[in-house]
Structure 1
């Protein structure tokens, strides 16, 4: 891997696997960590710190910031292994949930003072952050945001609410996209760095923990109730707030495909093992053609989605335009994960329907994939627009 001087892709993968199966999963079992229950902050802090010590936390960052400048292909290989393992804390290893990966593509936008005060604590696994764009009336239509920012001397007053904000429960500060009200009734979209409200200090309030179908408690509302923010906390240029999200959207959509495929591969692996050992009518169910066909279809679709993923990832690493292709990866890999999960439940039969069974849990997980990070329908809109432009 050309971007990693000290370790190649294979050795990084081996090092990660050793950590997952010899430290992370035993830690989760010992502390009875359940993805559908509140995870104590001390456990989040442990995994952040340990990952930082091992060099995984923010591994794609520049070397001067403690990373290894790992390219997107290498990052996706590691993400696949993490999600394939079934680890509850997988999203904290590389810093994806509230960590450095959340802000890595926006590093150049932060001022030197902002970088020192806000970015470095996140990189050093001492703080968490989140990106707040979605609102009750502004999901796919990002331009419809209603959270306002009004100038008041050297400060801005933010008023409004964000929801479905990933990593919000673990965030010490947030990048908030707001509608800035300017002179003569005009408006523009501006990004602000907003700290979490502490005693005697203005900031965002953590609203309702929004528990989705998967049961995780890592998403919440952010409430801005006459929230005072200094003008020095504007991120980037005023009026350029939406561009911050768009600057990372293609890479984000494509790389999520690695997450979806990791889950799909785990479902296939579990299904294969079950088919080998589950005996019905005097023989393993894997000997029945109906089961064989489902396994073959699952494996074929995963292979096709993985081939698409790494083809697009290579283009991104080479600086090519992949707007339509990244949406193809997102829509296809998320749909494949859903079809694989459906077949896995069928192969496991009654067991796969039982609450607490890993297949039942993943079946709920993958249903979200077709909605998160842009719905399948939004991805198809993007693909069609790119085709019609040519």
Structure 2
């Protein structure tokens, strides 16, 4: 449903208060411990953060794409690991079910995802199937009314703590590319499914990422998302198109925070007898950063509105993800530069965010893949 401005404003203010009072003060603690305290996760559940984009009939908030973009811009102004804890459930881990799940699958799983009782994850990427996701080697062999899944997945957010896995496997060994790929819902505890310890990462400490190993995991045919074999890659692309808009919003929030931190630093740090903010080259870094933040925010919200209106925004979603993630990287780099030597020491927001946002240019499609896709679609449109 589309909320009026007052309702949306109240929601955003409630989220903002939670982030500022309960998350921001423990950013450094979470970064050092590589874990979000359970009481904070419970507060996320109580605030309904796990179900923002899940339809209201299944216990979620049913936010529109634009409303969710505004929420993502807000929640990512504190360390991005906090959003990652609930973001899968209200994003890529539930979207496959929302767009293609059977009525029974939706009734069974979406309320659990919306409440945060269950944590979901999206198991698509493999060691040799990253940017070329259609090259996946995980197989699902039919055996009566069951399938036996064998393979491994990597770089899967929330895999070490997930209860529900959306696993993509090839059900037709003779097919190539996107054809013959099927999406399955697999619950933790299924014999043969295991998740090794989480990776040690450059940034986003507190957001566990790891592998999913599937050793002859047996699932009933009712586990197929949508109940139709061979439609998995189409389901994945539907989920990823929306997620790229979500991710673009998540790139805007840290840049907003960093501009604020840069201004504060420029006003308080003194050199040559005056605040460094008096120097024009410092002002240039702040001005360029703030301008790019506004440009990215405008692009994200415009694309979100077009998607809500029913338009095909496949190319625009790629543009959002490309521009916002690259913008965020540039702003983070300028923040470290403005902080000077202190920005290289691991005790401040500039250094921490610099590590955290580097991932944005890699997942949900690298910048290079998005450049390629945008170019192909641009030229195809011109030819048409």
TM-score using structure 1 length: 0.89
Give the SS at the match of 1:79: helix
More off after superposition, 136-145 vs 52-61: 52-61
1:129 equivalent in alignment to 2:125: no
1:353 equivalent in alignment to 2:344: yes
Residue in 2 aligned with 1:223? 213
Q: Relative contact order (C-alpha < 8 Å, sep 6+): which is higher?
A: 2
* CA–CA separation in structure 2 for the residues paired with 1:156 and 1:221: 21
* CA–CA separation in structure 1 for the residues paired with 2:84 and 2:359: 16
C-alpha displacement at 1:333, in angstroms?
Answer: 0.8
* CA–CA separation in structure 2 for the residues paired with 1:12 and 1:368: 28
C-alpha displacement at 1:351, in angstroms?
Answer: 0.4
Once the two structures are superposed, the pairs formed by residues 35-184 of structure 1 within 5 Å of their partners are 35-39=31-35, 43-44=37-38, 46-86=39-79, 88-92=81-85, 95-98=86-89, 102-104=93-95, 106-181=97-172
Give unpaired runs (5+ residues) of structure 1. none
CA contact (8 A) 1:4 1:68 kept: no
C-alpha displacement at 1:186, in angstroms?
Answer: 5.9
Q: Which has the higher helix share?
A: 2
1:14 equivalent in alignment to 2:13: yes
Once the two structures are superposed, the pairs formed by residues 299-378 of structure 1 within 5 Å of their partners are 299-378=290-369
Give unpaired runs (5+ residues) of structure 2. none
More off after superposition, 81-90 vs 167-176: 81-90
CA contact (8 A) 2:50 2:89 kept: no
* CA–CA separation in structure 1 for the residues paired with 2:275 and 2:325: 30
Residues 231-262 of structure 1: per-residue CA shift (max 9 Å, x gap): 22122210111111111222211221111111
Flag the 1:251–1:108 CA change in 2: closer, same or farther, 3 A: closer
1:234 equivalent in alignment to 2:224: yes
CA contact (8 A) 1:159 1:224 kept: yes
Residues 293-328 of structure 1: per-residue CA shift (max 9 Å, x gap): 111111111111112111111111111121111111
Give the SS at the match of 1:68: coil
C-alpha displacement at 1:47, in angstroms?
Answer: 4.0
CA contact (8 A) 2:99 2:238 kept: no
| RMSD of Structure 2 on Structure 1 (CA) | 2.3
C-alpha displacement at 1:215, in angstroms?
Answer: 5.2
C-alpha displacement at 1:98, in angstroms?
Answer: 4.2
* CA–CA separation in structure 2 for the residues paired with 1:270 and 1:177: 41
Give the SS at the match of 1:16: helix
C-alpha displacement at 1:88, in angstroms?
Answer: 4.4
TM-score using structure 2 length: 0.90
C-alpha displacement at 1:270, in angstroms?
Answer: 0.6
Give the SS at the match of 1:247: helix
Residue in 1 aligned with 2:200? 211
Residue in 2 aligned with 1:268? 259
CA contact (8 A) 2:254 2:353 kept: yes
Give the SS at the match of 1:69: coil
Residues 181-226 of structure 1: per-residue CA shift (max 9 Å, x gap): 46xx5682111111223xxx51420024223321535110000112
* CA–CA separation in structure 1 for the residues paired with 2:5 and 2:191: 44
